[in-house]
């Protein structure tokens, strides 16, 4: 069975940094692109970033480009999101997600990690 | 940037058919996926590749995609179908994923 489990910094200051991790199991991690999706309190889903299987290709939403960095460690079957220059509107639940295959939709989701940015 | 537009809310009586729309420029040329999200839970994929159901999703869920509109149809809606529903597609122009704003479905 596929598991995605987010962990990492949950409270940060404006202008500060936090790092999220997503530990995975139950599938061959290096075969799949991986993504981050977030949801601000009371709002809809927002796509944040994707990284391809070997880390060579990364894409970011305009709202986080230049501040967030997605990365992965295939040996540890883990996905990461380094969040710098945090802003109050980065407050959200962050989900790690995996598609069923290329452009098959996000079949697997983590339970989500609440990140709060506040002074 | 590519935008997907959904109605914020929709109400349907139990047993009736609910149709949730998702508008986007030539969305019919893209592969559209639909998610169901209940309060305080992670989203669940209910439709992928425009009209395919993952295993375990009831046949009451179907979808279509053509022109500038995609739609999710729930036939014989049940109280248990109350949730937020999101459409999603990939914008190859910007290499971004895109979600619609979500539709809150009420069954009463």
Yes or no, beta carbons of A100 and B96 under 8 Å apart? no
Average pLDDT of the segment spanning A31-54:
97
Q: Searching chain A, which residue's CA lies closest to the CA of residue B102? A: A44
CA distance B49 to B89: 9
Task: Measure the CA–CA gap between B38 and B102, rounded to whole angstroms.
Answer: 12
Question: What is the structure's pLDDT at A103?
Answer: 80
Quickly state the pLDDT bin for A16 (edges 50, 70, 90). very high
Task: Identify the CA nearest to B75 among candidates B13, B22, B16.
Answer: B16
- Contact across the interface for B33 and A106, Cβ inside 8 Å: yes
* A45 closest CB neighbour out of B48, B95, B102: B102
Query: Which of A44, A62, A103 is facing B102, going by the closest CB pair?
Result: A44
Q: What is the C-alpha to C-alpha distance for residues A13 and B51, in angstroms, rounded to an integer? A: 43
pLDDT in tens, A56-114: 999 999 999 999 999 999 999 999 999 999 999 999 999 999 988 878 999 999 999 99
Give the percent of chain B with pLDDT over 70.
Answer: 100
Yes or no: say if A68 and A47 are a contact pair by the CB < 8 Å rule. Answer: no
Spacing of C-alpha A27 from chain mean position: 18
pLDDT for B16-65, tens place per residue? Answer: 999 999 999 999 999 999 999 999 999 999 999 999 999 999 999 999 99
Q: Please list every residue in chain A whose beta carbon sits closer than 8 Å to the beta carbon of residue B95.
A: 59
The mean pLDDT of B74-101, rounded to a whole number, is: 95
User: How many angstroms away from the CA of A74 is the closest CA of chain B?
Assistant: 23
Cβ contacts of A109 on chain B, cutoff 8 Å: 42-44
For B99, the closest of A44, A62, A103 (CB atoms) is A44
What does the pLDDT read at residue A9?
85
Q: Does A35 touch chain B (CB under 8 A)?
A: yes
Q: DSSP characters for A51-96?
A: E-TTSS-EEE-TTTTTTEEEEEETTTTEEEEEE-S--GGG-EEEEE
Nearest CA in chain B to A36: B97
Res A17 pLDDT > 90: yes
């Amino acid at each position: 069975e596929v598991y995605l489990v987010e962990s990492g910094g949950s409270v940060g200051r404006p202008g500060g940094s936090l790092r999220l991790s997503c530990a995975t199991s139950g599938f061959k991690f290096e075969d799949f692109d991986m993504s981050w999706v977030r949801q601000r309190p009371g709002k809809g889903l927002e796509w944040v970033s994707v990284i391809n299987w070997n880390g060579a290709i990364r894409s970011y939403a305009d709202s986080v480009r230049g501040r967030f960095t997605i990365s992965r460690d295939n040996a540890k079957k883990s996905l990461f999101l380094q969040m710098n220059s945090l802003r109050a509107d980065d407050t959200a639940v962050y989900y790690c997600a995996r598609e069923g295959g290329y452009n098959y939709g996000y079949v697997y989701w983590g339970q989500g990690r609440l990140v709060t940015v506040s002074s | 940037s590519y935008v997907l537009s959904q109605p914020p809310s929709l109400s349907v009586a139990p047993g009736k058919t609910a149709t949730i729309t998702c508008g986007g420029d030539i969305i019919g040329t893209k592969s559209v996926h639909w998610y169901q999200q209940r309060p305080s839970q992670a989203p669940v994929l209910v439709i992928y590749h425009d009209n395919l159901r993952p295993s375990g999703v009831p046949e009451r869920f179907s979808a279509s995609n053509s022109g500038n509109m995609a739609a999710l149809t729930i036939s014989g809606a049940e109280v248990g179908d109350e949730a937020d529903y999101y459409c999603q597609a990939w914008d190859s122009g910007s290499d971004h994923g895109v979600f619609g704003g979500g539709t809150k479905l009420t069954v009463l």
